[in-house]
């Protein structure tokens, strides 16, 4: 039996909490439970929403009671496979040129690394998609190499461009649209993470794995042009 807490969220949702920290093993439990519930297609379960350490279960109280949902969760917990879930693998291009990476120099100075070492460490890691949130298609990716783990900026920016690659704490992300931001910006990607023409809208999903391929400023501008034309095709390499 897995350790967890069940917390009501009003009268139409339950939160199943597995821990209090960022941890890929906790995320595996969250995603495993979400997958089991989605596969069962239980009457009254409207939606499951994975977060970094918990699963939000939205249900229709006129169809299924909170007690019935809790009983179903208890049953699933007894046979829940907590093995890490296999997701799709993505390699996304990122340009780390200082012209579009306004915090690269500062990150290097604060970590005692050269700019090239920051790029090497950030792009060498394979990141786990913990959750989507804050903006449509925005994926929270971890874990950032420890030597790059900086707190958020003291002065957030009021607006950053879509595609900006940020880091803060153990997380990194690509912002899918213009937005205020308090993270350190170390690069930019031409890949649209949110597109209404896709069936799901979002390119990435919880449980996927992402690596970054450094590209030159010239190549970034070429890929961005193709993306703006709707001609940039980014495909996953299947399950990891």
SS3 88: strand
- Whole-number pLDDT of residue 78: 81
**Dist CA 67 CA 72 (whole Å):** 9
Contact 16, 22 (CB under 8 A): no
Q: State the residue for tokens 């990607």.
A: 189
> What does the pLDDT read at residue 196?
86
Alpha-carbon distance 13 to 60, whole Å? 8
Helix or strand (DSSP H, E) at 157: strand 157-160
106 and 139 belong to one structural domain: yes
Q: Examine residue 84 and state whether it is found in any structural domain, yes or no.
A: no
In three-state secondary structure terms, 53 is coil
Question: Is the pTM for the entire model greater than 0.85?
Answer: yes
Domain that holds residue 147: 89-228
Which residues of the chain have a pLDDT value below 50? 240
32/120 same-domain check: no
Residue 239 located in a structural domain: no
What's the confidence (pLDDT) of residue 239?
59
- pLDDT computed for residue 83 by the predictor: 56
Q: Which residue has the tokens 């699933």?
A: 76
On whether both 118 and 74 belong to a single domain, the answer is: no
* Domain end marker among 78, 113, 128: 78
38 and 60 share a domain?
Answer: yes
Instruction: Count the helices and strands in the chain (H runs, E runs).
Output: 5, 13
Contact indicator for 30, 80 with CB cutoff of 8 Å:
no
- 164 within domain boundaries: yes
Q: Where among 31, 49, 78 does a domain terminate?
A: 78
Q: What CATH number does the domain containing 17 carry?
A: 3.30.1360.40
What per-residue confidence (pLDDT) applies to 84? 52
Domain count, the chain: 2
Which H or E run includes 16?
strand 13-17
DSSP string, 179-221: EEE-SEEEEE----SB-TTSSSSBS--TT-EEEEEEE-HHHHH
Q: Is 107 in the same domain as 71? A: no
């Amino acid at each position: 039996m897995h350790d967890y807490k069940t917390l009501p969220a009003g009268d139409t949702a339950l939160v199943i909490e597995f821990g209090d920290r960022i941890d890929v093993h906790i995320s595996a439990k969250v995603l495993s439970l979400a997958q089991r519930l989605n596969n069962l297609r239980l009457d009254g379960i409207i939606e499951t929403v994975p977060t970094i350490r918990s699963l939000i279960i939205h249900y229709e109280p006129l169809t299924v009671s909170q007690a019935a949902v809790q009983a179903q969760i208890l049953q699933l917990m007894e046979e829940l496979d907590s093995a890490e879930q296999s997701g799709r693998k993505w390699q996304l291009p990122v340009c780390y040129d200082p012209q579009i990476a306004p915090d690269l120099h500062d990150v290097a100075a604060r970590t005692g690394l050269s700019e090239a070492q920051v790029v090497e460490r950030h792009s060498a890691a394979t990141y786990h998609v913990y959750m989507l949130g804050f903006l449509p298609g925005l994926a929270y990716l971890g874990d950032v190499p420890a030597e790059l783990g900086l707190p958020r900026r003291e002065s957030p920016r009021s607006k950053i461009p879509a595609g900006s690659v940020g880091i803060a704490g153990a997380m990194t992300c690509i912002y899918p649209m213009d937005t205020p931001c308090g993270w350190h910006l170390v690069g930019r990607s031409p890949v649209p993470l949110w597109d209404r023409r896709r069936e799901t809208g979002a390119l990435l999903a919880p449980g996927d794995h992402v690596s970054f391929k450094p590209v030159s400023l010239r190549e970034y501008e070429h890929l961005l042009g193709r993306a703006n034309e709707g001609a940039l095709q980014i495909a996953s390499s299947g399950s990891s």
